[in-house]
A and B are shown apart, each in its own frame.
Chain A
């Protein structure tokens, strides 16, 4: 019989370690979200623009960008982390630790969100782009003043879905000393047979994901005036 009071007790006993783990998760996911916005958004936009029949149709670039996104996404994530160790070492000086763990996580984040962005942009009616062109809008103007405006609720929902994936991916970062709640749950809860502690962390994760989804859906709905 599962003991809830024992779970709470364990939770309180390990609260400083848990807080630390949560902080590490936030750092890794935060860096990933930032990478997704700063690099995934432009990459997704380029995926859209270079596609057939779009504003900057370009077969070469389309193949290259799609290739990158597909290759990154087809890696089993754990293998990508290991595979990228030399790159990580080159970028941040070390392959171990939370910041180092954020490098492969960031790369995956960019690829995941870029696809979401591309899909959202494809949903904007073609006529909107045409109206923009008829006003003499430049390509940058069309992207910023028309495409992003009309696709914004989809862009936010995509980022929400992506963020939840990032949280999930971040849980395996223990392999390169990245820490985080997932790593904590495995080391303390699973490997030391403290099942109650593991359950507490899982509940914590569920609450976190619920909150992210709730916030994302709220913002998206608020932005959607269609």
Chain B
């Protein structure tokens, strides 16, 4: 279980103080996909980044796996972060390393042997449906493929929690659906708890079990949602034409 307890964060901005997050308490149930939605600048990304203490709250606790991450010494925090994967809107891949090199990085940092690394990288790339792109460089991939590589990289340490910071906000609708399917698949088959920050209602509607609404640094609402089943086979996507016909309600002529 992940819970933020009375967390606050403020920044100095010029003369005044900007209160990015004000005394927010939020619990994410284990094994669920939890959405955090709100307008731009509401503090939702700050909230997400507190969950792995990329952003240290001024006050409050960040409980992950029974430990308060805000009180851990740096070395232990680094270890704890290995079981918390994270993906970003702009992917943040290493452009000078191949796809498999990118997925391998977290394992290299942890000092895992070459043979085991290779196996794990293959396994992760297969999971996100990109086993054949291993030797390519990120520059040759589409946005959706880059995000899949980022997901594979985040999975390398077999995390129990995956944090997603606007994971589909720079992708087109078809690719968004593709990425959401991958996330749902991860949640279902690996039992990974997922937190998604987004400003897109559709993303929440599509995959989230629960959603928290953040406005002006405060938690203003929360809902439980019924989840759509989604496709179990993530490699089989409807064609662009099929999507247009289905989603946009267009008729064949």
**Which A residues lie at the B interface, using CB under 8 A?**
125, 127-128, 130-131, 133-138, 141, 145-146, 149-150, 152-153, 223-226
Contact = CB atoms under 8 A, between A and B. Distances in A.
B95 A127 contact: no
B52 interface: yes
Interface of B: 52, 54, 77-82, 84-86, 88, 90, 92-97, 105-106, 108-110, 137-139, 150, 153, 157, 163
Q: Which of B77, B85, B105, B108 has the most CB of A within 10 A?
A: B105
A150 B88 contact: no
B88 A225 contact: no
A145 B108 contact: yes
Nearest to A140: B109
Nearest to A134: B86
B60 to A, nearest CB: 20
A146 B81 contact: no
Contacts of A145: 105, 108-109
B95 A225 contact: yes
A150 B153 CA distance: 17
B96 A135 contact: no
A162 to B, nearest CB: 21
A130 B92 contact: yes
B190 to A, nearest CB: 18
Contacts of A125: 90, 92
Nearest to B77: A136
Contact of B96 (A130, A133, A137, A226): A226
10 contacts: A130-B54, A131-B88, A135-B106, A135-B153, A136-B81, A136-B109, A145-B105, A145-B109, A224-B96, A225-B137
Contacts of B150: 131
A32 B138 CA distance: 36
Contacts of B157: 135
A135 B105 contact: yes
Given A136-B109, A141-B109, A149 B54 contact: no
Contact of A135 (B81, B88, B137): B81
B6 to A, nearest CB: 24
B95 A136 contact: no
A138 to B, nearest CB: 6
B139 A131 contact: no
A150 B81 contact: no
- The 8 A-B residue pairs with the shortest CB-CB distance in the complex, in nearest-first order: A136-B81, A131-B92, A134-B86, A136-B78, A127-B92, A226-B95, A225-B137, A135-B106
A127 B109 contact: no
A146 B95 CA distance: 10
Contacts of B78: 136-138
Q: Which of B95, B138, B139, B163 has the most CB of A within 10 A?
A: B95
Contacts of B77: 136
B96 A134 contact: no
B96 A149 contact: yes
A34 B52 CA distance: 41
Given A125-B92, A136-B80, A149-B96, 18 more contacts: A130-B88, A130-B92, A131-B88, A133-B54, A134-B52, A134-B81, A134-B84, A136-B77, A137-B109, A145-B105, A145-B108, A145-B109, A150-B95, A150-B96, A153-B96, A225-B95, A225-B96, A225-B97
